[in-house]
Amino acid sequence: MSTQKWPRWLRRGPMEMLACTVIAAGFVMLLQPLAMVLYTWSFITMLVGTVMFMIVSKFPA
């Protein structure tokens, strides 16, 4: 598969950075002591980021 057909924003670098940001946001949500709703959604957020990272790591560079 040629990398010319993939849009620049859909390549591995930017999408891995987005996945890492989602994982970090979930981690911050897990550790914050203020809002229970953020704590409640933290695991799902980290899970989505992790699955996203696994999928995106197969994209062309």
Contact 46, 23 (CB under 8 A): yes
**pLDDT tens per residue across span 4-20:** 687 887 888 899 999 99
- In this structure, is residue 1 part of a structural domain? no
52/59 Cα distance (integer angstroms):
11
31/40 Cα distance (integer angstroms):
11
- In this structure, is residue 3 part of a structural domain? no
Mean pLDDT score, 41-53:
97
- In this structure, is residue 51 part of a structural domain? yes
List the domain range (segments joined by +) for residue 31. 8-56
Domain count, the chain: 1
Q: Which pLDDT band, with edges at 50, 70 and 90, does 26 fall under?
A: very high
Mean pLDDT score, 47-61:
93
Full-model pTM: 0.85
